[in-house]
Amino acid sequence: MADIDPQISVAAAQDATARRAKRKRAFLVFGCVLAAVAVGAGLYAWIEGGRYVDTDNAYVAAEVAQVTPLVAGPVRRVAVNDTEVVHKGDVLVELDQTDAKIALAAAEADYADALRKVRQTIATGHALAAQVGERDADIARMTAQVQVATADLQRAQVDLRRRQSLVADGAVSGEELTTARNAFAQAQGQLAAARASLAQAQAARGTANGQENANAALIEGTVPETNPQVLAAKARLDKARVDLGRTIIRAPVSGVITQRNVQVGQSVAVGAVLMTVVPIGQAHVDANFKESQLTHVRPGQSVELVSDLYGDDIVYHGRVEGFSGGTGSALAVIPAQNATGNWIKVVQRLPVRISLDPHELGAHPLRIGLSMTATIDTRAHQPGRGAN
């Protein structure tokens, strides 16, 4: 075997030493990087820990508007179908107007008749006032007749007394005395008749006054247009006009038609649900967060949402509007009962209402019931950040 060159042995040893030093430096750099990442991750978790809470248990919702008729009648025309987009005020359904038009004509006739009767009552008041004046004139005439009859009676009484005093002297015949007595009796009768006529005239005036007062009570302080009877007829007329207008059923809000269940010729009743309008431009999200996630969640915080419909490329921005008054299980039709049997604690979820940006909704419409992923930024309400 040939001897190994000492120079080659030294070079190999130096090369091995260099490789070991290089590996040591690589491990040292890797350790430093790993330590820096760990420190950075720990620092981020310490600063941002608990800032974001998210859930994929979130769904699109909206305050849907049910279309119901306010008057009954047969359906003449249905102007929309399911999935159609409508605007507020668009015609949805038309009911037959025959009965409503007849009712309107009858109400118009009743209103005109009420006006006529009130005007007649006013005219009757003027006539009754004239009758009261006539009764006053009758009373004045009867009063004068009573005075004349009283004077005639006094004259007849004086004449009778004079003749009675002359009978003993024979200056007055029996016939003259009888005539005087008859004249006195006649004067008494005329006075009694005059007084009876006066009493009758006074009673007639009282009756006329009562009729005038009763008639005045019907129209006091009003003109024909403000009379209660006319106002009641006017109210019935206005209702008939409103009912005629209600035979045209319009969209209460802008949105999409769904659950249409009305057909032409169908007779609908007041309050029957004909269809539903979903206002997709006013949609919001009900996100069900775990109770342990809501420690720092407050109304007004910003939220980022992603819909399964559009994927991660479309991000919606919203804000926390408020919290439900109870958990989903507590508000269920049949709430869970944990008073008996084995009990296992289950983390509850509380619905959180989140509003959406209407401009983003207009660009990428959503439908109620679609799944969403919601992430709330709670930074503004972290302890020590100065927010409540």
CB of 304 closer than 8 Å to CB of 315 = yes
Q: Identify the pLDDT of residue 170.
A: 65
Q: Work out the burial of residue 24: count CB atoms within 10 Å of its CB; fewer than 13 is exposed, 13-18 middle, 19 or more buried.
A: exposed
The CB-side HSE value for 287 (13 A sphere, CA atoms) comes to 32
Q: Identify the pLDDT of residue 289.
A: 93
Domain ranges of the chain: 49-64+279-388, 67-96+247-271, 100-241
Instruction: Tell me the pLDDT tens digit for each residue of 199-209.
Output: 887 787 777 77
Q: Rounded CA gap, 156 and 162, in Å?
A: 10
Q: Is the pLDDT of residue 46 over 60?
A: no
Asked which of 51-60, 147-156, 363-372 is least confident by mean pLDDT, the reply is 147-156
Q: Work out the burial of residue 291: count CB atoms within 10 Å of its CB; fewer than 13 is exposed, 13-18 middle, 19 or more buried.
A: exposed
Q: Identify the pLDDT of residue 20.
A: 73
> In the predicted model, what is the mean pLDDT of residues 274-298?
91
Q: Which fold would CATH assign to domain 49-64+279-388?
A: Elongation Factor Tu (Ef-tu); domain 3 (2.40.30)
CB of 118 closer than 8 Å to CB of 227 = yes
Q: Which fold would CATH assign to domain 67-96+247-271?
A: OB fold (Dihydrolipoamide Acetyltransferase, E2P) (2.40.50)
Instruction: Tell me the pLDDT tens digit for each residue of 107-153.
Output: 999 999 988 888 887 777 677 677 677 777 877 888 888 888 888 88
- Of how many residues is the chain composed? 388
Q: Identify the pLDDT of residue 40.
A: 72
Q: Is the pLDDT of residue 96 over 80?
A: yes
Q: Is the pLDDT of residue 217 over 70?
A: no
Asked which of 245-249, 288-292, 320-324, 339-343 is least confident by mean pLDDT, the reply is 339-343
Q: Is the pLDDT of residue 8 over 70?
A: no
Q: Identify the pLDDT of residue 382.
A: 47
Q: Is the pLDDT of residue 26 over 90?
A: no
The Cα-based distances of 171 to 32, 176, 183, 196, 365 in angstroms read: 172, 10, 19, 38, 134
Q: Identify the pLDDT of residue 388.
A: 39
Q: Identify the pLDDT of residue 386.
A: 37
Q: Rounded CA gap, 326 and 330, in Å?
A: 6
Residue 255 φ then ψ, to 5°: 170, -155
Q: Is the pLDDT of residue 383 over 50?
A: no
Question: Domain 100-241: what homologous superfamily?
Answer: Helix Hairpins (1.10.287.620)
Model pTM score: 0.63
Q: Identify the pLDDT of residue 180.
A: 74
Q: Identify the pLDDT of residue 196.
A: 86
Q: Work out the burial of residue 336: count CB atoms within 10 Å of its CB; fewer than 13 is exposed, 13-18 middle, 19 or more buried.
A: exposed
What tokens were used for 180? Answer: 């005087």
